[in-house]
Amino acid sequence: MSVQELESEILKLPSHERARLAELLIASLDEEDEITQAWADEAERRYQELRSGTVQAIPSEEVFARVRSRLR
């Protein structure tokens, strides 16, 4: 079903059902924004840990070698 077909069907719904659907769609967008913000916060936290020396970076070659050895 295309977006245009979906729109046409949705507009046939009673107003209270369209309102409920609109709320659900808007909430789903808000969740994506929250998830994006959570990942940005996590990235910033990790960056600050690296800058402060709280954690030590591991070279990607070493990380991949560890993963490969575990998968064998």
pLDDT in tens, 50-62: 999 999 999 999 9
Q: What pLDDT sits at residue 69?
A: 95
Determine the pLDDT at residue 28: 83
Ordered by start, the domain boundaries in the chain are 3-71
| Long-range CB contacts for residues 43-49, cutoff 8 Å, separation at least 24 | none
Q: CA-CA distance, 43 to 35, in Å (whole number)?
A: 12
Alpha-carbon Rg for the chain, nearest whole angstrom, is: 23
Rounded Cα gap, residues 40 and 54, in angstroms: 19
In the predicted model, residues of the chain with pLDDT beneath 70 are none
